[in-house]
Amino acid sequence: MTRRILVALGVFFLASHASAQSLDLFTKTTTEVAPGVYSYGAFSARSLFVVTSDGVITTDPVSAKNAADMRAAIAEVTDQPVKYVVYSHQHWDHVLGGQIFKDEGATFISHEKCIPHFARHPNDELVMPDQTVTGDHDLTLGDKTLKLMYFGHNHGDCMLVMQVDGTDVLYINDLVTPYSVGLGFMPDYDPGEWLRTLLELEARDDWTQFIGGHGIPVAPKDAMVQRRRYMEALMAAVRDGIESGQRLEELYDTIELAEEFREMRGYKTHIRRGAERIYHYYTMGW
């Protein structure tokens, strides 16, 4: 099945199933999105792994169970060892459970700004990074280079966006969940910087599709454009409400966006939580 067909099926699937209850959140699949580049996981959590001539690079183990399942999926593709594990950011729903790869001898990598988060919130299931990067970094193994790209503060302060050099696919964890609203009330993300990052990514002409940290195996760039436009609309609506004198409780009860955004997965659940977060962004500076 071609990537184009997979994307089209994914769009149809989401459009036809508006609620989380109607989605198969947990069946894991392996999808080759470029030569040697794989999207692995389920709708609930998704990672990237890259098969090179000298071993495997993987990202975000998610949990001990997911890491074991991913290791088995890798073994179905190649008998090469896992040499590197790269954390996309600091949140536990993506970085826990990597001990199986550490036992295999893998080197763990994150952005340096993840380290204070890991130290402040220790977890027995977290493998601490062996190496850190401070900005953009090329991780070369065998015949492939995984580009680690840092865009500053957005969904936290240590997010890395990734791309295998020479491919048109990005791995973008949590900044975009295809055709979904997301956001919510997490205090460590910066809405303005998140929007800036999406605009910078959108302006790049070296990619046409992406793997998200949740959702379908691969999605077209248009799914990011939709998320960017949703954020812009939400921020404008909240700002307008504040300027008209609405208090948080009034805004929370009345916020509504255009019809084009209401079909996005999670809209009814997250629109008010997102509005509350944006309200504090404009009124409290955080």
Q: H/E/C letters for each residue in 32-94?
A: EEECCEEEEEECCEEEEEEEECCEEEEECCECHHHHHHHHHHHHHHCCCCEEEEECCCCCHHH
Confidence at 188, pLDDT banded by 50, 70, 90: confident
**With 60 as the cut, is the pLDDT of residue 14 above it?**
no
Task: Give the mean pLDDT of 184-195.
Answer: 83
Task: Give the mean pLDDT of 39-51.
Answer: 97
Q: pLDDT at position 182, please?
A: 74
**With 90 as the cut, is the pLDDT of residue 15 above it?**
no
Q: pLDDT at position 23, please?
A: 67
Q: Which residue carries 């805004």 as its tokens? A: 251
Question: Which amino acid is it at 190?
Answer: D
Q: State the DSSP code for 142.
A: T
Percentage of the chain beyond pLDDT 90 is 85
Q: State the DSSP code for 129.
A: P
Q: What is the mean pLDDT of the chain?
A: 91
Q: pLDDT at position 7, please?
A: 42
Least Cα distance to 277 among 175, 184, 194 occurs for 184
Percentage of the chain beyond pLDDT 70 is 90
The C-alpha R_g of the chain, in whole angstroms, comes to: 19
**With 90 as the cut, is the pLDDT of residue 269 above it?**
no
Count CB-CB contacts under 10 A for residue 99.
16
**With 90 as the cut, is the pLDDT of residue 10 above it?**
no
**Is the pTM above the cut of 0.75?**
yes
Distance, in Å, from the CA atom of 272 to the CA atom of 185, rounded to the nearest integer, reads: 9
Q: pLDDT at position 2, please?
A: 43
**With 70 as the cut, is the pLDDT of residue 6 above it?**
no
H-type alpha helices, the chain: 3-16, 64-77, 92-95, 99-103, 114-120, 191-203, 221-243, 248-254, 259-262, 267-284
Q: pLDDT at position 185, please?
A: 65
Q: Which domains does the chain have, with CATH numbers?
A: 3-221 (3.60.15.10)
Task: Give the mean pLDDT of 194-217.
Answer: 97
* Beta pairing, strands 107-111 & 82-86: parallel
